[in-house]
Amino acid sequence: MKKIMNAGLALTLTAVLAACGNNAATNNAATNNTGTKNAAAPEATQAGAPQELVISTWGFSEDFFKESVYAPFEKEHNVKIVVEIGNNAERLNKIRQGSSDVDVVYLSDYYAQQAINEGLFETIDRSKIPNLDKIYDIAKAPLGKEYGPAYTVGRLGIAYNPALVKGDVKSWSDMWTQFDKNLTLPAITATAGPMIVDAASVAAGESEFNEDQAFTKLKELDSNVVKYYSQTSEYVNMFGQEEIAGGPIMEMYFKDLQAAVPDAKFVAPSEGAYAVMNTVNVVKGSDNKELAEAFINWQLSKEVQEKSAKAKVDSPVNTEVVLTDEEAVGVTYGADVISKLRKLDMSFVNQHITEWTDRFNREIGG
């Protein structure tokens, strides 16, 4: 049976997650004060109207991105950033249809793989993105060296209300034993849906992915599931109202659960939490490829990554970022944490997701 997990996850990850540096150039130095080579960025236009760079993204934390990510880059490169907002599917469809002039696109790895399969991304010149050398190995080329990096790596684990479960939750298999008709799971079509299919295979005791065993285990669990959620807000509302005791969720949202239930716990299951990777790429046909690559380099810089982590916006991948224990709460941070993540093979997932969705709807969610 073909493995769903990338064997390459046994990566040697060094240092701590991070962010990027300031792009201000020094007078005659080969590198600026962030360690970013000046030659890696296109020459900024010092006079005249600013060049336009169109960025497609989700729209969360807009004020943070405007102030801490976009504005410094605009000033350094005499650029005007135009932002297009929407969810992964909406924005990918606009690129497919050619109905936008996007230069840079942020997408989860699941959707980014679809774009790669359809030839919608430019290949990148890694020499123009020197900050790639400063990020964790898992983030450098999640979908191949020709394409963009993961600028943040989060993790999917299990959150739960200790007062509503039968004991401590420590593993993926505990979802089958510790919850009594008070569990929620991601919908099969959600970003985390394929991860739960893999987790079910793991709970069945399979060392390699086994689809039949996974769906057998999911059927066993179905009677304990209150709802298969598509939006994190659904999870948060059910958790706060004690309609559920918990279930799989991305760590970045745990703070919202704790606000409702202060005693809530988040656990990285003993078999490994799942890597949740958001990528940044250059769209095919962009007239601003070098500028787009400079922007990706800026997104990976210590300055940007550190600010993002401290603001609880994104978990850092830059290994130079150092966080205090308090700053690291709710953030996927540190070489030890990153090295234990399970990473799905998104090419394999995309080959099978239609089949899994049909099977799920037919056998479980119908």
Q: What is the pLDDT of residues 13-60, one digit of tens each?
A: 333 333 333 333 333 333 443 444 333 445 444 558 899 999 999 998
Task: Specify whether 95 is located in the same domain as 134.
Answer: yes
Task: Specify whether 249 is located in the same domain as 328.
Answer: no
Q: Which domain holds residue 135?
A: 15-153+277-334
First to last CA, the chain: 27
CA 351, CA 331: separation in Å to the nearest integer? 31
Residue type at position 137: D
- Is 177 domain-assigned? yes
- Is 339 domain-assigned? no
Give the residue from 175, 112, 120 showing the smallest Cα distance to 141.
112
CA 251, CA 329: separation in Å to the nearest integer? 10
CA 255, CA 262: separation in Å to the nearest integer? 9
pLDDT at residue 47, rounded to an integer:
58
pLDDT at residue 100, rounded to an integer:
83
**Least confident stretch, 28-37, 207-216, 225-234, 339-348:** 28-37
pLDDT bucket at 235, cuts 50 / 70 / 90: very high
User: pTM for the whole thing?
Assistant: 0.83
Task: Specify whether 19 is located in the same domain as 33.
Answer: yes
- Is 340 domain-assigned? no
CA of residue 128 relative to chain centroid, distance: 23
CATH number, position 165? 3.40.190.10
- Is 1 domain-assigned? no
**Least confident stretch, 44-58, 202-216, 242-256, 286-300:** 44-58
Neighbours of 262 (CB within 10 A): 7
Task: Specify whether 221 is located in the same domain as 74.
Answer: no
Task: Specify whether 241 is located in the same domain as 357.
Answer: yes
Rg (CA), the chain: 21
Relative orientation angle of helices 109-117 and 346-363, to the nearest 10 degrees: 110
Task: Specify whether 88 is located in the same domain as 149.
Answer: yes
Residue 281 three-state SS: strand
Number of domains in the chain: 2
- Is 55 domain-assigned? yes
pLDDT at residue 4, rounded to an integer:
57
- Please provide the average confidence, as pLDDT, over all residues in the chain: 89
CA 27, CA 67: separation in Å to the nearest integer? 26
CA 360, CA 355: separation in Å to the nearest integer? 9
- Is 10 domain-assigned? no
pLDDT at residue 99, rounded to an integer:
84
Looking up tokens 């934390």, which residue turns up?
A: 61
> Bridge-partner residues for 54, per DSSP?
82
Give burial (CB, 10 Å; 0-12/13-18/19+) of 64.
Answer: middle
Q: 13 is written with which tokens? A: 């990850």
Alpha-helical runs (H) found in 133-273: 137-140, 193-203, 211-221, 232-240, 254-260
Mean pLDDT of 216-237: 96
- Is 77 domain-assigned? yes
Residue 248 three-state SS: strand
Task: Specify whether 175 is located in the same domain as 249.
Answer: yes
Task: Specify whether 60 is located in the same domain as 90.
Answer: yes
Task: Specify whether 96 is located in the same domain as 163.
Answer: no
CA 114, CA 308: separation in Å to the nearest integer? 27
Mean pLDDT of 307-328: 96
Looking up tokens 């295979």, which residue turns up?
A: 201
Answer left, alpha or beta for residue 78, where phi above 0 means left and psi between -120 and 50 means alpha.
left
For 84, half-sphere exposure in the C-beta direction (CA atoms, 13 angstrom radius) is 22
Task: Specify whether 178 is located in the same domain as 267.
Answer: yes
Mean pLDDT of 226-235: 94
Looking up tokens 């046909």, which residue turns up?
A: 285
Q: 229 is written with which tokens? A: 């959620």
pLDDT of 153-162, one tens digit each?
A: 999 999 999 9
Contacts of 363 (CB under 8 A, 6+ apart): 215, 219
- Is 9 domain-assigned? no
Residue type at position 308: S
pLDDT at residue 15, rounded to an integer:
33
Task: Specify whether 283 is located in the same domain as 305.
Answer: yes
Task: Specify whether 168 is located in the same domain as 113.
Answer: no
Contacts of 211 (CB under 8 A, 6+ apart): 1, 197, 201, 352, 356
For 259, half-sphere exposure in the C-beta direction (CA atoms, 13 angstrom radius) is 7
CA 202, CA 211: separation in Å to the nearest integer? 11
